[in-house]
Amino acid sequence: VPWSPSDVFEDLLPYLNGTVCAGVAFFFDVNGLGSGNVDLQQALSYGNNRHWIDIQLNKLKALYPRSRNPVFIMIALTTEEWRGYLTRVVPAQLVLVRYVAEQISNITDRGGNIVVGLSEMNSLDLQDFYQVYSILHQYLPNAELMYYTDLGQPADSIKEVFSYLKNSGIVLKYIGYDIYPHPSYSYQGGKVAVPSNRRPNYGSKSFAEMQDINFFIGEVGFRSGDVDGWQYPYSTKYINFNNSTGYISTITYYEQVINQLHSLGIDLIGIWNFDGSYGDPFGLWNNPHVANFLKFIGNRPYITATPTSTISMSQQTTTQTSANTAFRELILIVAITAVFIGLLTLRKRRFLTLY
């Protein structure tokens, strides 16, 4: 996220060619710009826009050339209110989408080896979906497009978005949900699980398979260090932070839920988030057990931690240890900006051949 501590994402560089993919999230601050026309300089000068966008573009510049695996990019059109309430896009948002897409295009050869899109736009008019995705498609023709919403939405809602865009000439390659069950995950005998009434809608999973696209979980999240992080998982307030046991509990909860989803045939799983800080309780970067989490997925570093400015592709070695047996078919995707750590199945080689 753009409010992360400086350069903590560099800790992930050693993992980017193993089972880890990186993610970068762009956040727009437009609440005070109104619904009228604005030019690019007005939009960039408002609030934190220029600063946040520059930070994320610099991360992308550092990450992209060092990763054989795809980089995931999520664009959040608003920060002042939850984007799920947004019904229409305003000119300032479209101006910023166009600017960011153009910058990403220059860094990534028009979107090669990236997956990009929106999330949780539960109330957005379908025509406005098209406005945003048509810009992404125009500037990033080599990218694959994604969209995920939350489990509180009807199964048909995500199908409706997919179908509307497809009929308009734009095909999403990834559709899915995030998982912050209300009021909590189920918890029994020290084990956390997604409640049966909140599990991913298999109508949507079957729909994705029928369309020959990927079904995925965009986000799973636990407050790092919170022993009771399974309760109200969407809340940004700690319930029971414990410095000695909470961090271990957090990793355990992630592993339990990932195991559960993997057993259900879901192999692309996003985690909120890696480098969050300054009041963001979900950041994993300072969890002392995050390396164990990566090992649980089966990932090993290719290179030793080295400052970004001194790493070259030729310095990377190919000494990765074999993946954990239980996750031999998975690739871990770490989103460095409030988007997702995910798991990508190697069975869908199509995901890797485009890049």
Q: What is the pLDDT of residues 158-176, one digit of tens each?
A: 999 999 999 999 999 999 9
Note the pLDDT tens digit of each residue in 14-51: 777 777 778 899 999 998 999 999 999 999 999 999 99
- DSSP-H helix ranges across 147-306: 155-167, 202-210, 246-263, 290-297
User: For 207-221, how does the pLDDT look when each residue is reduced to its tens digit (9 = 90+)?
Assistant: 999 999 999 998 999
Q: Say how many CA atoms lie within 13 Å of 66 toward its Cβ.
A: 30
Please give the Cα distance from 154 to 166 (Å, whole number): 19
pLDDT band at 142 (very low <50, low <70, confident <90, very high): very high
pTM of the model as a whole: 0.85
Backbone torsion region of residue 335, taken as left when φ is above 0, otherwise alpha when ψ lies between -120 and 50, otherwise beta: beta
Return the pLDDT at 202.
66
Closest CA to 344 of 18, 5, 9, 63: 18
* 5 — pLDDT class (breaks 50, 70, 90): confident
Residues 275-310 have pLDDT tens digits of 887 778 998 888 999 888 888 877 766 533 322 222
CA angle 192, 194, 195 (to 5 degrees): 110
Amino acid symbol at 180:
Y
pLDDT exceeds cutoff 50 at 194: yes
| % residues pLDDT > 70 (the chain) | 83
Q: Which residues pair with 241 in a beta bridge?
A: 226
> Exposed, middle or buried, 53 (CB in 10 Å: 0-12/13-18/19+)?
buried
Burial class of residue 231 (count of CB atoms within 10 Å of its CB; 0-12, 13-18, 19+): middle
Distance CA 256, CA 248 (A): 12
The four Cα atoms 235, 241, 245, 248 give a dihedral, to 10 degrees, of 30
Q: In terms of pLDDT, which residue wins out, 341 or 289? A: 289
